Structure 1
């Protein structure tokens, strides 16, 4: 287990402990067309006892379907983040959008959420075959925190063959879809990432990304003038 994976393990455990020590919220209420009385009763109880499928549904459903979404999501966040960061739960861009809607920065244990995200990102860059694709993890952590800078700084500082292979693969995907400058993160595209990401890529030292990728990025940023 790497240092980053150990950090993630400890951060998830600390988040679990903080969640268990918090006062239980009011009974969970929500759209009765979407949730049965049994669902709502289970969601009102200990999060550790929730069936995985019910947890997944609660993790991704719209905030408008709940009477007190921030309180519910704060209670479920330790399990949601554990499953997300270990590859059990997908839909990272949607989880990021839900965390934003839950106003997670105002939670008493918001620092632990940040630590989980930071350890997850560092650990992902270290793994040759992480359970969640690197661009998806970047989108999730950036959209959740509403910033790219610290995550890109970590990637720049992780100058390893594995991290650089992830970088080349990510750029290849962004170039393939022709969306680098217009790239937006989050389920609803809440976070505009393209310009900052492109500028960062072009500022990397030579050799961090393949020459042909740098060429295409430069061409996208400064296309040649059209012939009249």
Structure 2
């Protein structure tokens, strides 16, 4: 199958096209400002107030990463079609992790936008998540997309529900890869990505993710050939406190 013919890729392409249509003509506020020393020049700022002009990659990065816009939502809407395309292509390289991009979405409060705009963002996130699970040509590892989507939305629930609806060898392999990435932090009762948006409940997300892994995901890990050691570590998530730390299978993690 040609990569462009993959069903998840077609859905994602349609979502990206919809973002371009819905957010066509968007600009930052006329009075938006930022520090020339720390963000960029007046000429660069003027580009954010000009619709549909593509930004160079460095300016795009500085724009979505900045935390001090007067109206972050308006700035995000201005860059969103280009930003989303860069995310999908793996051209976004945050300092810490892709959850930083999710934090930018959260700061923009996209879920409060008009229905057409919020719906376009929601479909993009779900389409990208599905593509990361099922398309062998996906440019970004699924566990990174999961972190981004969870941070953007403030919850892990819809993304885990989507994963349950995506059975199959590749989706299960993505699960093994994610479990390998996440087990250390989860065994320490920590979320395996950095949560910065103050409204997100890190403790709740961590607990829900751990419960899902040792519940729904455990049989899929066994069926997909995950190592016995990884399966034992995920099994420890069912235990709490001293019962976990003193279990014979405890891997000796230090926090």
TM over 0.5: yes
CA 1:46–1:225 in structure 2 vs 1: closer, same or farther (change >3 Å)? closer
User: Is residue 2:186 matched to residue 1:179?
Assistant: yes
Which has the higher mean CA deviation after the structures are superposed, 108-117 or 19-28? 19-28
2:64 to 56, 59, 62: 59
For residues 15-48 of structure 1, the C-alpha deviation after alignment (integer angstroms, 9 at most, x for no partner) is 1111115577425321232221111112221243
Alignment RMSD: 2.4
Q: Secondary structure at the match of 1:49?
A: coil
CA 1:87–1:191 in structure 2 vs 1: closer, same or farther (change >3 Å)? farther
Q: Secondary structure at the match of 1:208?
A: helix
Q: Secondary structure at the match of 2:24?
A: helix
Q: Which residue in the other structure is 2:44 paired with?
A: 39
Shift of 1:134: 1.2
Q: Secondary structure at the match of 1:67?
A: coil
Q: Which residue in the other structure is 1:119 paired with?
A: 127
Which has the higher mean CA deviation after the structures are superposed, 206-215 or 113-122? 206-215
Q: Is the 8 A contact 2:12 2:128 kept in 1?
A: yes
Q: Which residue in the other structure is 2:161 paired with?
A: 153
For residues 149-196 of structure 1, the C-alpha deviation after alignment (integer angstroms, 9 at most, x for no partner) is 121112122111111111111111222x34343115454274422211
Structure 1 runs not aligned, ≥5 long:
none
Structure 2 runs not aligned, ≥5 long:
248-255
Q: Which residue in the other structure is 1:128 paired with?
A: 136
Distance in 2 between the 1:20 and 1:224 partners?
52
TM-score normalised to structure 1 length: 0.87
Q: Is the 8 A contact 2:9 2:135 kept in 1?
A: no
Distance in 1 between the 2:217 and 2:66 partners?
42
1:19 to 6, 23, 26: 23
Distance in 1 between the 2:201 and 2:82 partners?
25
CA 1:82–1:27 in structure 2 vs 1: closer, same or farther (change >3 Å)? farther
CA 1:128–1:28 in structure 2 vs 1: closer, same or farther (change >3 Å)? same
Q: Which residue in the other structure is 1:89 paired with?
A: 92
Q: Is the 8 A contact 2:28 2:75 kept in 1?
A: no
Distance in 1 between the 2:50 and 2:190 partners?
43
Q: Secondary structure at the match of 2:86?
A: helix
Q: Which residue in the other structure is 1:101 paired with?
A: 107
TM-score normalised to structure 2 length: 0.79
